Amino acid sequence: MAQNFAAWIGYEMYLPFKEDGRWGLLLEGYSKGNDFVSELQGSFYRAGANYYLKNGNRLGAGVAYQWDIPYDEVSLPYNNPDYRIYEQFIWRIVKKEGNEVWSQRFRMEQRWLGRKDDPNSTSDHFDYYKFENTFRYQLRYQLWFKQRWAAVVYDEVHIRTNAASSNENYLDQNRLYVGTAYSLDKHREIRMELGYMNQIFWKSPDTESGLSRMNHTIRITLTTDLPFKKK
């Protein structure tokens, strides 16, 4: 199993159009570095619409794009795109006057992965797009132990629903994360988050067929759920 030390720097923004409104945007993006920031792993972007239910839960759907760059011995030997459509539901339980938040995220992703018949080809052309359907489940816990400081932990598993051969696993990857968040405002609507993520790939579509890897990743993320319009 290949092992890497990486850094992801990015943003994750849930943006209601108005405070206590029903509709909003999701914007997400990351630059992914290997050997922390000395070389690129790739980049990732997601954009979509959210619908906020009266109980605080959320429905969402949209598109995503990832650009993968070879960065270890188990990577595909060429840069490749990953186009996605996604649907998700977030179930939140808020306790202790908002200081404790449990959330579960159920996400489906339909992925089209650019592939070449000749792995050594230097052409920008892709011969076909491999289809993957992935189910992602994340359980997250956040505890505000001071007015502006919170502890964050989550685990997320990725399951491919259409693994087709002995060189592919239904279990794609797992992400275990531990970190802390600091609120930049007293309402906790804009936050900086810093943490460690252990990311394991099992015969993933992000690796050469039949191979596995583990990434030790530092994540720095600007997060917000600030509405465009206040009351």
pLDDT exceeds cutoff 80 at 67: yes
pLDDT exceeds cutoff 90 at 202: no
DSSP code for 161: T
N-to-C CA span, the chain: 53
Nearest residue to 110 (alpha-carbon basis) of 88, 126, 127: 88
pLDDT band at 64 (very low <50, low <70, confident <90, very high): very high
* Lowest-confidence pick of 63-72, 79-88, 159-168: 159-168
Average pLDDT over the chain, rounded to whole?
A: 94
Domains of the chain (ranges, CATH numbers): 2-224 (2.40.160)
pTM for the model stands at 0.94
pLDDT exceeds cutoff 90 at 157: yes
**Residues 6 or more apart whose Cβ sits within 8 Å of residue 94:** 56, 100, 101
Nearest residue to 63 (alpha-carbon basis) of 81, 86, 80: 86
Q: Tell me which of 169 and 18 has the higher pLDDT.
A: 18
Query: How far apart, in whole angstroms, are the C-alpha atoms of residue 83 and residue 34?
Result: 22
**Token duo for residue 158:** 């990725």
pLDDT band at 120 (very low <50, low <70, confident <90, very high): confident
Token pair 């252990």: residue = 198
- Residue 179: CB atoms within 10 A of its CB come to 19
pLDDT band at 203 (very low <50, low <70, confident <90, very high): confident
pLDDT in tens, 173-189: 999 999 999 999 999 99
* Bridge partners for 68 per DSSP: 42, 80
**Which of helix, strand or coil describes residue 48?**
strand
